[in-house]
């Protein structure tokens, strides 16, 4: 029987993927791809059809095998899967660098670019060639043999370290729990959180309640638990995960891992002739110079800081008047902020939660997308999945043409990576036999699971997360590009990938859309106008503080990768402290080790690119302002957004596409207005 991990069907069969069979499947595909490459390079001349199409097929075969494995490592990890995943990473890195450092292949692609046929290529073909020639250079194709070997070794180390960072964080998160037997200690916590903590305790044959560091539990404790001492304990455990501090100090410490990651990135950039990793990374981004990004971020700091200082002073005075709190600590911020929000606007996230059952949010979101772009989404129940809570959907356009599929996995559980993300399972591609491979996406979140016979209920923040990640899904699924290297989000500059995801969040604040996505869990009533008005009034509550928090992360990331000096020690902490001194208005305890869990830059794709969230938000806010002018459900604007932005993949520059959609270059005004900062 064929190894089921080698399955190349339209959808993976997750239940057939066994850890013991993964490494042999990977080696088989890598071997076949290497043999195929040798055949291709034996041609006497090269063309789009005899080189570029087969290269896409090779990439696709590998991606279809590895993508489900990588996904399972994120959402259903086991010791066996972790071991084989880590064993496979160096094999993948070596294969990819061998491919991109192959001088004969580089010369073959150059020959196509120099051929008479090239001028007749369509924009997608030209962009594919252009990107490939750029990426060959960024992968070290022009390096000496010794430097190539060094480059490959560094990439292998980097791949291992970024995975180790994520695994340390996962282990540290799930290693800590707080067993509580006195119900009075848990005053203030919502019923749903208490029930979940009780069930968690029962699963371990314990009485009382177990508090964990899963984000739904942690964030609720920070907002609602009256017991200040317990809040401090939970806060300290959370912000010291995988570090040299806190209750699990040094057990899964990411300190050296971070230092090594940043040093390797710096060394890689140096090998290619760049002074630092930022200059290297900007080659593939919208922003072209470090000064552009720093000016952008620092300008936002200037525009936000006075708002944030006022908000922080208001919070201090409120906490003092309410509970005689003289020194507001980090573990007090969310608690008193939520109380202040209720005092000022008479609305809390928990009160709103009752109006947002997950299924209703999804149904309503699908209606919103249908009204905007004519797309139709249908659930299917006959598809193999990796967990009983996973659902599967088909996406059709207004002409009933299938566009793609997506899986949803919404709830937190053990052995699942924290956070929310979208990832690709299959990429849209026109295959050699002219059939179309439809794109498939994974939409993953970590919400509180449904309890007993009650539906899963979301906060309004959670609702925005669903819209955000679904925006990424639509970017992947609605593409009309037939070559996988540029379809969906592939080839899109990293500082533009958040544009569609942030764009769709705006509908979470529109009254008509909220009517579609809300239904009270008991009465079925949609969000009443009184609550809607309170929600809108509170929309920009502490907007300055929220803005500065994101700018702190972005500046820390950017400066760390820009200023890294291999001869200096403790730069991660030093640069973070400097950025906080410049930006932050909130107290940060000396034991705080936020950076040790900053997966976006140490285990994800956002290194030297966390600024992308704010950079792309300028585009998304300004794009939405067209709907504010023409109507928030204007089908012409909606169709234009789909055709101009979502369908184009990475073929054209994002700025050009934005201008095509908006009729002008982006302005920052809409972002500042939507954030309440003007």
What's the pLDDT tens digit per position in 111-160?
999 999 999 999 999 999 999 999 999 999 999 999 999 999 999 999 99
SS3 541: coil
Helix H or strand E segment including 59: helix 53-75
Q: From the candidates 177, 469, 498, 647, which is the catalytic residue? A: 469
Residue 469 is among the residues annotated as catalytic for this protein: yes
pLDDT over 90 (residue 354): yes
What pLDDT shows up at residue 2?
81
The CB density around residue 116, as the number of other CB atoms within 10 Å, is 6
Q: What is the pLDDT of residue 1?
A: 62
- As a whole number, mean pLDDT of residues 257-273 equals 98
- Strand, coil or helix: 394: strand
Maximum Cα–Cα distance for the chain, whole Å? 82
On whether the CB atoms of residues 211 and 199 are closer than 8 A, the answer is no
Q: What is the CA radius of gyration of the chain?
A: 25
What pLDDT digit, counting tens, does each position of 160-200 carry? 999 999 999 999 999 999 999 999 999 999 999 999 999 99
678: pLDDT confidence band, cut at 50, 70 and 90?
Answer: confident
Phi, psi of 387 (to 5 degrees): -155, 150
pLDDT tens-digit map of 418-462: 999 999 999 999 998 999 999 999 999 999 999 888 899 999 999
Per-residue pLDDT tens over the stretch 20-71: 999 999 999 999 999 999 999 999 999 999 999 999 999 999 999 999 999 9
pLDDT for 349 equals 86
CA angle in degrees (0–180, nearest 5) for 149-151-156: 95
DSSP E strands: which ranges in 97-145?
Answer: none
Question: Of 179, 192, 181, nearest to 452 (Cα)?
Answer: 192
Please check whether residue 550 is in contact with residue 579, taking contact to mean a CB–CB distance below 8 angstroms. Answer: no
Question: Token pair of 636, please?
Answer: 């012409």
- Cα torsion 236, 242, 244, 248: sign: positive
Sequence-ordered list of residues with C-beta below 8 angstroms from that of 473, at least 6 positions apart, any chain: 406, 422, 441, 443
Give the right CATH number for 255-347+543-610 from 3.30.300.30, 1.10.150.20, 1.10.1370.10, 2.60.120.260. Answer: 1.10.1370.10
2-22: average pLDDT: 93
Q: Compute the average pLDDT of residues 507-515.
A: 98
- For 410-425, the pLDDT digits (tens) are 999 999 999 999 999 9
Spacing of C-alpha 293 from chain mean position: 20
Neighbours of 179 (CB within 10 A): 14
The dihedral over CA atoms of 500, 501, 504, 506, expressed in degrees to the nearest 10, equals -110
Per-residue pLDDT of 77-87, as tens digits, reads 999 999 999 99
Structure tokens at 260: 């090594």
Strand partners, 436: 430
Determine contact, residues 141/110, Cβ cutoff 8 Å. no
Task: Tell me how far apart the alpha carbons of residues 510 and 646 are, in angstroms, rounded to a whole number.
Answer: 22
Mean predicted confidence (pLDDT) in 619-647: 98
Q: What angle do CA 232, 459, 515 make, to 5 degrees?
A: 160
The C-alpha atoms of residue 475 and residue 428 are separated, in whole angstroms, by: 11
Backbone angles phi, psi at 618, to 5 degrees: -60, -45
Percentage of the chain surpassing pLDDT 90? 97
Nearest to 645 by CA among 662, 634, 664, 658: 658
Q: Taking the mean position of all CA atoms in its chain, how far away is CA 63?
A: 19
3-state secondary structure 215-277: HHHHHHHHHHCCCHHHHHHHHHHHHCCCCCCCCCCCCCCCHHHHHHHHHHHHHHHHHCCCCCH
Mean pLDDT of 522-532: 96
Q: Give the pLDDT confidence score for residue 453 in this predicted structure.
A: 85
Contact 218, 418 (CB under 8 A): no
Sequence spans of domains, the chain:
4-100+102-138, 176-239, 255-347+543-610
CA 676, CA 678: separation in Å to the nearest integer? 6
- Residue count of the chain: 678
- What's the mean per-residue pLDDT of the chain? 97
Residue 352 has pLDDT above 80, yes or no: yes
- Mean per-residue pLDDT, 265-293: 98
- pLDDT at residue 452, as a whole number: 84
Q: Which residues contact 589 (CB under 8 A, 6 or more apart)?
A: 236, 239, 329, 330
Structural fold of domain 4-100+102-138 = Glutathione S-transferase Yfyf (Class Pi); Chain A, domain 2 (1.20.1050)
DSSP state of 492: S
Report how far apart, in Å, the C-alpha atoms of 115 and of each of 109, 519, 614 are: 10, 61, 41
What is the helix (H) or strand (E) element at residue 615, kind and residue range?
Answer: helix 612-630
Is it true that 4-100+102-138 and 255-347+543-610 share their CATH fold? no
Query: Taking Cα atoms as reference points, which of 424, 392, 389, 391 lies closest to residue 405?
Result: 392
Distance CA 237, CA 219 (A): 13
């Amino acid at each position: 029987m064929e190894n089921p991990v080698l399955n190349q069907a339209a959808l993976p069969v997750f239940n057939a993927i066994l850890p013991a069979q993964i490494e042999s499947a990977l080696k088989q595909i890598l071997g076949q791809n290497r043999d195929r490459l040798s055949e291709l390079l034996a041609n006497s001349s090269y063309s789009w059809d005899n080189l570029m199409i087969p290269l896409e097929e090779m990439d696709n075969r590998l991606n279809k095998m590895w993508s489900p494995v990588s996904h399972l490592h994120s959402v259903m990890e086991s010791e066996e899967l972790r071991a084989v995943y880590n064993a496979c990473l160096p094999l993948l890195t070596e294969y990819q660098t061998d491919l991109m450092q192959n001088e004969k292949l580089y010369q073959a692609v150059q020959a196509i670019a120099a051929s008479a046929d090239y001028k007749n290529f369509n924009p997608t073909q030209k962009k594919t060639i252009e990107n490939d020639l750029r990426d060959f250079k960024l992968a070290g194709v022009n390096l000496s043999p010794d430097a190539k070997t060094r480059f490959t070794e560094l990439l292998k180390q980097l791949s291992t370290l970024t995975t180790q960072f994520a695994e340390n964080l996962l282990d540290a998160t799930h290693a800590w729990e707080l067993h509580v037997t006195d119900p009075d200690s848990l005053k203030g916590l919502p019923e749903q959180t208490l029930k979940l903590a009780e069930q968690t305790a029962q699963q371990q044959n314990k009485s009382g309640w177990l508090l964990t560091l899963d984000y739904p539990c942690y964030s609720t404790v920070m907002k609602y638990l009256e017991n200040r001492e317990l809040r401090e304990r939970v806060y300290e455990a959370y912000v010291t995960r995988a570090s040299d501090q806190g209750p699990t100090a040094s057990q899964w410490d990411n300190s050296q891992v971070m230092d090594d990651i940043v040093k390797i990135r710096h060394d890689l950039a140096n090998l290619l002739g760049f002074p630092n990793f930022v200059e290297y990374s900007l080659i593939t981004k919208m922003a072209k110079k470090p000064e552009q990004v720093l000016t952008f971020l620092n300008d936002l700091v200037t525009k936000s800081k006075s708002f944030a200082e006022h908000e922080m002073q208001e919070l201090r005075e409120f906490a003092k008047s309410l509970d005689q709190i003289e020194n507001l600590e980090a573990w007090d911020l969310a608690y008193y902020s939520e109380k202040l929000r209720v005092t000022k606007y008479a609305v809390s996230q928990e009160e709103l939660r009752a109006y947002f059952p997950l299924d209703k949010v999804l149904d309503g979101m699908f209606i919103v997308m249908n009204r905007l772009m004519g797309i139709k989404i249908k659930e299917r129940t006959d598809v193999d999945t990796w967990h009983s809570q996973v659902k599967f959907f088909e996406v059709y356009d207004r002409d009933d043409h299938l566009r793609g599929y997506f899986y949803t996995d919404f709830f937190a559980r053990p052995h699942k990576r924290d956070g929310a993300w979208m990832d690709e399972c299959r990429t849209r591609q026109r295959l050699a036999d002219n059939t179309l491979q439809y794109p498939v996406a994974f939409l993953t979140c970590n919400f509180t699971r449904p309890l007993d016979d009650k539906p899963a209920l979301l906060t309004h923040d959670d609702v925005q997360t669903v819209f955000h990640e679904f925006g990424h899904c639509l970017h992947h699924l609605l593409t009309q590009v037939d070559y996988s290297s540029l379809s969906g989000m592939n080839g899109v500059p990293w500082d533009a990938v958040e544009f569609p995801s942030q764009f769709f969040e705006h509908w979470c604040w529109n009254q008509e859309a909220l009517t579609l996505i809300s239904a009270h869990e008991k009465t079925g009533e949609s969000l009443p106008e009184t609550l809607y008005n309170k929600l809108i009034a509170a929309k920009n509550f502490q907007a300055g503080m929220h803005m500065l928090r994101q700018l702190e992360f972005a500046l820390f990331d950017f400066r760390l990768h820009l200023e890294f000096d291999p001869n200096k020690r403790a730069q991660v902490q030093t640069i973070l402290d400097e950025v906080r001194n410049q930006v932050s208005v909130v107290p940060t305890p000396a034991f705080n080790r936020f950076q040790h869990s900053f997966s976006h830059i140490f285990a994800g794709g956002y290194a030297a690119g966390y600024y992308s969230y704010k950079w792309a938000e300028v585009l998304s806010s300004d794009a939405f302002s067209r709907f504010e002018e023409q109507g928030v459900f204007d089908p012409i604007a909606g169709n234009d957004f789909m055709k101009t932005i979502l369908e184009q993949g990475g073929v054209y520059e994002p700025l050009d596409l934005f201008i095509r959609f908006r009729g002008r270059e982006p302005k920052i005004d809409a972002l500042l207005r939507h954030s309440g900062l003007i």
